[in-house]
Amino acid sequence: MQIETITTHPYNDQNPGTSGLRKKVKVFQQPGYLENFVQSIFDSLHDFTGKTLVLGGDGRYFNRPAIQIIIKMAAANGFGKLIIGQGGLLSTPAASHIIRKNNAFGGLILSASHNPGGPDEDFGIKYNVGNGGPAPEKYTNAFYQRSLTIDSYKTAHIEDIDLDRIGTQQIEGLNITIVDPVTDYAELMQSIFDFNLLKQSISSGYITLLFDAMHAITGPYAKRILIDILGATPDSVINAEPLEDFGGHHPDPNLAHAQELAERMFSSSAPVFGAASDGDGDRNMITGSNIFVTPSDSLAIMAANAHLIPAYAQGLRGVARSMPTSQAVDRVAACYNIPCYETPTGWKFFGNLLDAGKITLCGEESFGTGSDHVREKDGLWAVLFWLNLIARKRQSVADIVHEHWQKFGRDIYCRHDYEAVEMDIANGIVEHLRSQLPALPGQTFGDYTVKYADEFSYEDSVDGSVSSNQGIRIGFENGSRIIFRLSGTGTVGATLRIYLERFEADASKHDQDAQVALAELIGLAEQFCEVKKRTGRTEPDVVT
């Protein structure tokens, strides 16, 4: 194998966020940009000669060319085997499963998750370690530091690989296996859920469903599992073909972007169950006929009913949620006397807890839930979990939600996103908030007295690592919270996320509209952070 070492120069903006490096496609297309980052990853890893690397992505624009580049670099750097999804496709949870099933050294996942795709939109890449989960901060910090000093990268002179032909080929000592991206994942789902019950419930007409794949990666997975295996009608999966630009849409599964699904689910002809997933298949939106289930409530309901699912019939070892996620799952954990962990945003923080056997179920308010079956959040897994619940409980989605609120109370919750805020303004907002924290405890604002005001810091209970500056929290005596956080998943400016939460025990008030119920907290949030005043905006870009 002819290996060439190519001289390059560093780029100073290759610091991976919570889910890898995400930039505009045109940034990744700069000479050596992708190569630099991939070589920085390989240079920071040890003892992988002859080992297995998993490779795949969500099919967005630049996915195929990037995979060909990475194949040549992986060969040049000494990997012995590559497992690649057919067509260069792998959902993020499926990639995690393939890494784990094959005891791979790690994997490279090409995705910008729920961000738009196309020549003028976003691309991303992240490294997953041998447990199948996203690289922890000690890895991503090392990747970034190496990227600042890199001066060359290695590539092999081999022909482009036919990514569409399933099977194994040997190229000068390198084993390249192209696999069907769905098969292993579908088998895993059949080992978790009661597929016989689901088939009966769907064939009898008790469960009707609509899944919106948003022209993203989960289309082939949903068609295979929901239609081919479980027997749902062919029109049960819409926007099923993965497209490089996601059909010009934003593959973010919320009511604002999954409009076709939302219109159907809030109509007189709504099916029993509706759901959507995102660009790389790790997020989920759950709806029923004329009801939207918030991700925070979804996590709590799944935790409270997990014993009804075959794989979790023995109960849960513990649960975890990201700090901005509502405290609904905490109430379930307290009721069932199981541990509940609060982590920073970013799935990698759940990995240690899962590996150590401290938790079985975990989730984030940003439309992500998962369990110990993989080390990523998993959109279709959550969809199947809810379908299994409906089939077992013989209740509608709305009845399941209201029954849960009756037992545990309702954490009324919403998130306001102000997107693409200029970095100087965003940083100014955070500094302004920080300056107020020492004086806030004890102050009263209308019905709300501040109990604590701080910046969240997390000490990992497994390895003792500390993650600071993970979001600003203002908590009140009545259990309500306002949280402010700058998101690391966008590619333009900064996204300011404001999370608002109020607990309501009175069942007669459980059906309140969240924006109405949280109106006083929304006003307080603006008083504290001044985002409208400082940006000139009148409302958030997205409300979820």
pLDDT digits (tens, 9 = 90+) for 23-71: 999 999 999 999 999 999 999 999 999 999 999 999 999 999 999 999 9
pTM of the model: 0.95
Query: Helix H segments across 45-136?
Result: 63-76, 92-101
Q: Where are the beta strands (DSSP E) in 271-356?
A: 273-277, 284-288, 291-293, 319-322, 340-343
CA dihedral 199, 194, 377, 68 (to 10 degrees): -60
pLDDT digits (tens, 9 = 90+) for 298-325: 999 999 999 999 999 999 999 999 999 9
pLDDT digits (tens, 9 = 90+) for 513-528: 999 999 999 999 999 9
AA identity, residue 369: T
Q: Which residues contact 169 (CB under 8 A, 6 or more apart)?
A: 161, 175, 176
Q: What angle do CA 453, 457, 460 make, to 5 degrees?
A: 145
Closest CA to 541 of 483, 493, 502: 493
Give the per-residue pLDDT at 544: 84
Closest CA to 45 of 149, 114, 168, 138: 138
AA identity, residue 470: Q
Q: Which residues are catalytic?
A: 113
Q: CA 430 to CA 473: how far, in whole Å?
A: 12
Q: CA 534 to CA 539: how far, in whole Å?
A: 12
pLDDT digits (tens, 9 = 90+) for 138-148: 899 999 999 99
Closest CA to 339 of 349, 326, 328, 329: 329
pLDDT digits (tens, 9 = 90+) for 80-128: 999 999 999 999 999 999 999 999 999 999 999 999 999 999 999 999 9
Q: Which residues contact 57 (CB under 8 A, 6 or more apart)?
A: 63, 66, 67, 85, 88, 89, 90, 109, 110, 111, 280
